[in-house]
Amino acid sequence: MGIRNIQHLALTVPDINSARDFFTDFGLETIERGDAVVCRCVGRDQDQLVLIEGHPRRLGYVSFGVGEAELQEMKKALAGRDDVSFADAPAWSDGEGIWFTDFEGMLTNLRAADEAPWRTESAATFNRPGKRERVGRRSEFLSRAAVNPRRLGHVVLFTTDAARKMDFYTDPLGMRLSDKVANFLNFMYCPTGSDHHVVAFAESWSWGLQHAAFEVDSTDEVGIAGDQMKGKGYVAAWGPGRHGPGSNVFYYIRDPFNWLFEYFADLDYIPEGMEWEAIDWAERDDSPHLWGPTESSDFPTNFETPKPR
Ligand SMILES: [Fe+2]
């Protein structure tokens, strides 16, 4: 019993037009739905971001998918806790499933939902020693085509207590720790089979969104997409490079409100039933980042909520 996938997240943004422009440039489709702007990936029938205009900027909620038969069981498990309060769905949401605030007041939604399929066809071919996929023609990347992400893969959330958040997402929410960096960064996967992390928790002075990550077709597309965003005047906070935890290639771009959005490719996958051995990257001698530039000094900063004095 537990979370099986991420469905979407909602953000309150101070300027809906700048947000729409940013996510269009990022390669997503945008749809007007009542007062909200919904962002989707090309070729995928699943909301990925729900944007509503307002002040201050704030993570509205995160929506996760669970099994159809599990939803009521999970509701029962949550009802037995004194650190969870059931809540009304925001008026501008679709209202599906169960809504609650957790111990620190973060609104969360569980709904009976599978992952919608995403585009898996690839134009990219690679020549490796002993394995030539592309013979007699030039690289597909020379087309310099616009990059359209395939799916929302994960979110990294700020939390006031990363250990407590991890415990809550382990039981009753059913996720497992895949890796950690000391006690302030915890990566979680779904034992029903998922990416190395579907959600991760970074300790801060308030809950909120650190980044949301979208999968693209290849490691080259990570670099191309990030450079395209820089070419449009957006700020790159970090990348391109390859992480240790999750092994993925990454490129982080700042949106107009100082949240981070990541392009990623080639992330570790943990199949159903496997006991993944979590390690603490803070205890290793080598860097948790394998190659690429150093992160910008403000990469881990929680801009969503001003730091208390
Ligand atoms: Fe990420």
d(CA 105, CA 107): 6
Question: 304 C-alpha vs ligand 1 centroid, how far in Å?
Answer: 17
Question: Across the strands, what pairs with 280?
Answer: 180
The pair of three-digit structure tokens given for residue 234, joined into one six-digit string: 């957006």
Query: Regarding beta strands 3-13 and 85-86, do their DSSP bridges make them parallel or antiparallel, or are they unpaired?
Result: unpaired
Question: Ligand 1 mean position to 138 CA, how many Å?
Answer: 31
* pTM greater than the 0.95 cutoff: yes
Token couple for 195: 């990416």
Distance 209 CA to ligand 1 centre (A): 11
Ligand 1 geometric centre to CA of 267 (Å): 10
Residue at 206 is within a domain = yes
Distance 222 CA to ligand 1 centre (A): 12
Would 127 be classed as within a structural domain?
no
Classify residue 135: in a domain, yes or no: no
Distance 213 CA to ligand 1 centre (A): 5
- Tell me which residue range forms the domain holding 164: 3-114+149-291
Q: Which residues surround ligand 1, an ion (CB under 5 A)?
A: 213, 262
Domain assignment of residue 105, yes or no: yes
Neighbours of 39 (CB within 10 A): 25
Task: Give how many domains the chain has, as a whole number.
Answer: 1
Cα 155 to averaged position of ligand 1 atoms, centre (Å): 7
Q: What is each CA distance from 152 to 9, 46, 189, 206, 252, in whole angstroms?
A: 9, 10, 15, 24, 14
Q: How far is the CA of 215 from the centre of ligand 1 (A)?
A: 10
Q: Is residue 267 part of a domain?
A: yes
DSSP annotation of 142: G
Distant-in-sequence, close-in-space partners of 220: CB < 8 Å, separation ≥ 6:
124, 141
**8 A C-beta contact, residue 22 and residue 64:** no
Residue 305 in any domain: the answer is: no
Within a domain: residue 123? no
Cα torsion 301, 175, 252, 41 to 10°: value is -130
Question: How many alpha carbons fall within 13 Å on the CB side of residue 182?
Answer: 5
| H-type alpha helices, the chain | 16-26, 71-79, 162-170, 219-231
CA of 170 to the centre of ligand 1 (A): 20
Please check whether residue 286 lies inside any domain of the structure: yes
Contact 83, 103 (CB under 8 A): yes
Please tell me what DSSP assigns to residue 47: -
CATH of the domain at 216: 3.10.180.10
Measured in angstroms, how far is the CA atom of residue 64 from the centroid of ligand 1?
A: 17
Measured in angstroms, how far is the CA atom of residue 262 from the centroid of ligand 1? 6
- Residue 85's contacts (CB-CB under 8 Å, 6 or more residues apart) are 100, 101
Cα–Cα distance measured from residue 132 to residue 17, given in angstroms and rounded to the nearest whole number: 46
Amino acid at 172: P
Cα 71 to middle of ligand 1, angstroms: 27
- The torsion angle over the Cα atoms of residues 215, 243, 282 and 156, rounded to 10 degrees, is -20
pLDDT (tens, 9 = 90+) of the chain, 309 residues, equals 899 999 999 999 999 999 999 999 999 999 999 999 999 999 999 999 999 999 999 999 999 999 999 999 999 999 999 999 999 999 999 999 999 999 999 999 999 999 999 999 998 999 999 999 999 999 999 988 899 999 999 999 999 999 999 999 999 999 999 999 998 899 999 999 999 999 999 999 999 999 999 999 999 999 999 999 999 999 999 999 999 999 999 999 999 999 999 999 999 999 999 999 999 999 987 777 899 999 999 999 999 998 888
The three-state DSSP-derived secondary structure of 156-174 is EEEECCHHHHHHHHHCCCC
Q: Which pair of structure tokens corresponds to residue 190?
A: 């779904």
Q: How far is the CA of 268 from the centre of ligand 1 (A)?
A: 12
